[in-house]
Each structure stands twice: as structure tokens, then as C-alpha cells.
Amino acid sequence: MSSTQSDNPLKHASDDVGWEYEVLADPSNSDKVKCKLCKKVLSGGIYRMKQHIAHFKGNVAGCIKSSDDNKAKCKAALDEAKKKKKERNMHYEEVMEEVQLPHIEEDEDIEVVESRKRSRTLGPIDRFASSINPSSSKSNDGSKTWLIRKKDLRIIVASDEWEQCKHSKSTKGKVAYATMVSAQFWNGVSLCLRVFEPLFKVLWLVHGDKKPSMRFLYGELQKARNEIKEALKNNEAHYRPIIQIIDEKAHDQLDGPLHLAAYFLNPFYFFKDPSIQHDSLVMDAMFTCVEKFFPDNFEVQNQVINIEILKYKKKDGGFGRHLMEIGCIQNDDNYDPCMILIE
């Protein structure tokens, strides 16, 4: 490695004020950062560096070369981060209070649970361990799988095994007991599942190896956004912070020109919603891809954009076959838009 490379480690593409005062000490480890002012290497990433520059007491020594202006800028950034964290916590409490979620059944009290567990041959702990075994799960529906496990967890804390366990008498054990029988806790679990399950499905799509996922990523991400909004009763104040995080993480990773072009050229989405062709963002991405695929070949670019894409939009020729329509009804393991187009 050259001296230039070692003196200038990789810098993250971020507008966080902390990067004015730091670089990565090791390009492969974002946790190790180096102060540009005093050259001190710290563990803890950009947040710890801002504490270092601001002379924030308690976690790290202050930078000996930090000016009053530098201290003020980093202190303001730390205060803003603390404020946002407080707002997120307040937002969660508001959601918990206002979003109507299915509550634990009134008859699901400890006495009922106690009577149920007496009729089981397996111990509650053994039964729960069996229920979380991935090989024994036949459902990909997280909500349904957990509404099952809720009962098993509550049975555990009402069982003889739990009462005989030394931890049941400890402070933590009592907290665990109170949590397992708390309606508020399970309503929170329900909310988390309803919000994150749509995103989990997108991640599962990426992880799967049965068929290429590129043509589905943008469309399924859009679907996840809509499902999250519905889960939060279309209350913008509740869903906006979540959608904003998704958009920030997806930017330039799941919404690039290739993703958008694949979304447009997937009949599964376009044949259900032809208005996609009027989305300037999608069509600009399509043109960008054509220009990248056929650089300086204006004849081919013209053929694709002004002739072939028009056939696709109008469902001319093979695109208008009944086989195309019925083949795009359901996105299952057998669906392959490329094979449909070939046929």
C-alpha cells in the first residue's frame, strides 16, 4: 500500500459533521476512526469522535487541538441526535396508545393458561423450544407463528417448571413474568410484526435462490411501504418516520436505474398497473439503462425505446396473448416473466 493510501483511509459518503474531523483508521473497520486534528485513534465510530471533539466527558478524552468552534459544532450535533432519539421514543409511545391492535383475549388469564398446561404431555419449556425449531415450522407468516408462541411463552411462566426455577424469585424473573402476562407487551410485539413483516418478505426475496430477484425488488419494496402504511392505519405521523428510514437505506441500493427498469419490464407489475409508464422516475431509469447497454449505438437505442417499448406498452403481438395475462396473475415459484415472453 502506498503512503498516500495509508495516510488517507476510506471516508464514508456522509454529510455528518463528524466526518469533518475524522477518517477511518482501518478501511475494513468502520468502528475504528482517527481524529484529523490530534491523530488519536478511537473505537466507537463517528458518535464517539464527536464526543472527542466536543470534549464530552465520561466516555473519551477531549481532543487537545479542538477549537471552541469545533466543540460547539459537535456539541450541537450530539444534542440534535439526543433530541431525535427522544422524539423517536415519544413517537413509539404515541403509536402504542393510538394504533388499534388486537388485544389479548380476556379469557387468556393465568388460571386458564394454568389449566391448559396441565393437559399437555410436554413441559412448557420443551414445547416452546420445539415451536421455535425452524424445521418444525410450516408457515412463513410471522404474525400467525408468534400469536401461537405468545401462548407458549405465557404458559412457561405459569408452569411448575418456572415456579421451581430459582430465577423465578429474582428481580429479573419477576420482570419476565410481568412482561409475559402483559397485554401492552404483546400489543407491541403485534405492532412490530405488522410493521417489519413486509420488509422481512423483501429481504427473504433477496436471500432466496429459486429465481432472480432483481425484477421484483423495487415492486415488492413499494408493496411493503403500502402495507406498513395500512398497518399504521394510514396515519402519516406514525408511518412517515419508518418510511423515511426505508427510503434512506434503499437510496442508490434498491432504487437504481437497473431496479426501476426491471420493475417496468416485469409484466407482473406493468400489466396490473399500466400507469407505471407515466412515472417519470421509472421511465428516465429505463432510458438510462438503454443508453448504458448500447452506448453510441443510436440505431439500437431508437429500436428499443421508440419501437420495442411501444409494443410492450400497447401489448402488441405476443404481449397481448391471453397466456401473458394469466401468467402474471400470481408471483409464485413458477412465475418467470422471461419464459412468458419467450412463449
At 125-171, the pLDDT tens digits run 455 445 444 444 444 455 556 676 777 777 777 777 777 788 888 88
DSSP state of 214: H
How many Cα atoms sit within 13 Å of 53 on the Cβ side? 30
How much of the chain, in percent, has pLDDT values that exceed 70?
Answer: 69
Highest mean pLDDT among 118-122, 226-230, 264-268, 326-330: 226-230
pLDDT at 34 over 70: yes
Place of cell 398497473: 273
222-227 average pLDDT score: 90
Q: Provide the pLDDT for residue 52.
A: 92
94-110 average pLDDT score: 45
Alpha carbon 171 to its chain's center: 34
Name the nearest CA neighbour of 337 among 262, 241, 239: 262
Name the nearest CA neighbour of 232 among 271, 280, 181, 193: 193
* Amino acid sitting at position 226: N
- Structural contact between residues 32 and 59, judged by C-beta atoms closer than 8 angstroms: no
Average pLDDT, the chain: 75
Q: Provide the pLDDT for residue 64.
A: 92
How many Cα atoms sit within 13 Å of 314 on the Cβ side? 8
Identify the residue with better confidence: 155 or 18.
18
Name the nearest CA neighbour of 215 among 279, 270, 275, 140: 270
pLDDT at 9 over 70: no
Identify the residue with better confidence: 253 or 73.
73
At 49-69, the pLDDT tens digits run 899 999 988 778 899 999 999
